Amino acid sequence: MAIRAMIEARNLTKYYGSFLAVEKVNFVIKKGEILGFLGPNGAGKTTTMRILTGFIPPTSGEALVAGYDLVGQSIEARAHIGYLPETVPLYTEMTVKEYLSFMGRLRGMKSGQVRERLGYVIEACRLEDYYDTFIGKLSKGFRQRVGIAQAIIHEPDVLILDEPTVGIDPIQVVETRQLIKDLAGGHTVILSTHILPEVSMLCDRVLIIHEGKIVAEDTPDDLGTKLAGVDRVEAEVEGPRSQILEVLKKIRGIIDVTSRPAGKNRNVYRIQAKQGLDLRPTISRTIVNNNWALLNIQLLSMSLEEIFLKLTTEEDLRT
Ligand SMILES: Nc1ncnc2c1ncn2[C@@H]1O[C@H](COP(=O)(O)OP(=O)(O)OP(=O)(O)O)[C@@H](O)[C@H]1O
Ligand SMILES: [Mg+2]
């Protein structure tokens, strides 16, 4: 089965006046994939998404959805796209039903088609109890659901969600994430966030953008170890600290060792080793052979928080 690229960015570049907001961004999202677009404030997430939805044109480069160019074949491309913008332009004086029907019609659906589709959308977004409620009366979380509902009303196969869980309470965050997960099966999704655990929970792959450039691309799990270029081991040992430090530092493949106290005559040693070596067997043998007591040993992977900070603060890691 051929796996189609549903979203493609080719050298996307966007200047606002003389300000370079997005610089030569390249990525491909395959059919059915959920991609997390992660980056700090001002990184260029919304700008990239606006280009992908045909909202604004790129200064140079190309954006394609379902094979259609967002500039040259915008109508065809947009028919495949459901977009949850950063701030959803909801009409507060319409009921949920009226608004969703309106949005469906706006996207070229016939009123019969809208009627058929509404039931599914209302149920998928768990809006059954709010069908006839004025949008102005809905809480932020429910408005967000209406935002998602309008994004899927015309059965698009690509969803572009700009910070879908921002500003809603923890319970609704959980529900909104579940909703995205449920929708994911049949859709290709790109969602932006600066919430790192969200990426681990929802996404198959993550792109990290910083100052308009992609600085990393990986699965959430692999990002940690691959990016660090080192594996870290923590070992708790009972014995003479300076001697232990000295012996550990001599092991081949170990880059650095630091320690912190963990009780009487006990320390936790944090060991940086060259990537992929897994030095735990060597380290534990060395400790035991020296008659020190090994109380605990574990491999640490970097948390997404650490990676994110590392990527967005360390000059030398950028390409
Ligand atoms: N219409 C505009 N005119 C001028 N500059 C803009 C415009 N829109 C965005 N920018 C600038 O471009 C950069 C990228 O903005 P963008 O909104 O894409 O970031 P973002 O990653 O979505 O940030 P956030 O996490 O805060 O939503 C920022 O420096 C922003 O100030
Ligand atoms: Mg944004």
The model's pTM: 0.77
Ligand 1 neighbour 82 (Cβ under 6 A): no
| DSSP 8-state symbol, 3 | P
- Mark whether 217 and 243 lie in a shared domain: no
The DSSP result for 39-52, as a single string, is: --TTSSHHHHHHHH
Average pLDDT for the chain: 88
C-beta 49 within 6 A of ligand 1: no
The alpha carbon of 86 and the centre of ligand 2 are apart by a number of angstroms equal to 6
Q: Indicate which CATH number applies to the domain containing 75.
A: 3.40.50.300
Nearest CA to ligand 1 atom 9: 47
pLDDT at 318: 38
Q: What is the C-alpha separation between 176 and 161, in angstroms, rounded?
A: 12
Cβ neighbours of residue 24 closer than 8 Å, sequence gap 6 or more: 11, 12, 13, 61, 213
User: Which ligand 1 atom minimizes the distance to the CA of 22?
Assistant: 14
Domain boundary among 196, 225, 254: 225
- Answer yes or no: do 259 and 274 share one domain: yes
46 Cβ below 6 A of ligand 1: yes
| Residue 295: its H or E element | strand 293-300
Kindly state whether residue 249 falls inside one of the protein's structural domains.
yes
Q: 313 or 244: whose pLDDT is higher?
A: 244
Ligand (nearest to CA of 162): 2
Question: Is any ligand 1 atom within 6 A of the Cβ of residue 16?
Answer: yes
Residue 1 is classified by DSSP as: -
105 in the same domain as 73: yes
- Does 253 share its domain with 216? no
Q: How many domains does the chain have?
A: 2
Q: Is residue 65 part of a domain?
A: yes
The verdict on 187 and 246 lying in the same domain is no
Q: Is the CB of 143 under 6 A from ligand 1?
A: no
Among 210, 225, 240, identify where a domain stops: 225
pLDDT in tens, 54-108: 999 999 999 999 999 999 999 999 999 999 998 887 888 999 999 999 999 998 8
Tell me if 315 is assigned to some domain. Answer: no
The reply to whether 192 and 246 lie within a common domain is no
Last residue of a domain, one of 191, 206, 225: 225
Given a contact cutoff of 8 angstroms between Cβ atoms, the answer to whether 34 and 189 are in contact is yes
Residues 144, 61 share a domain: yes
Q: Ligand 1, from 23, 45, 49, 55: best to mutate by most atoms within 8 Å of Cβ? A: 45
Q: Does residue 255 share a domain with residue 181?
A: no
CATH assignment at residue 293: 3.30.70.1340
The reply to whether 308 falls in a domain is no
**Is the CB of 147 within 6 Å of ligand 1?**
no
Q: Quick one: 215 and 246 in the same domain?
A: no
For a ligand 1 pocket test, name from 15, 22, 47, 163 the mutation site with the most ligand atoms within 8 angstroms of its C-beta. 47
Check whether residue 238 and residue 102 sit in a common domain: no
Cα–Cα distance for residue pair 162/83, rounded to 1 Å: 8
**Ligand 1 atom nearest residue 14's Cα:** 12
What number does the ligand 1 atom closest to the CA of 49 have?
18
Residues 266-289: pLDDT tens digits?
999 999 888 777 789 999 999 999
Range of the domain at 281: 229-302
Residue 316 pLDDT greater than 60, yes or no: no
**pLDDT digits 0-9 by tens, 7-51:** 999 999 999 999 999 999 999 999 999 999 998 889 999 999 999
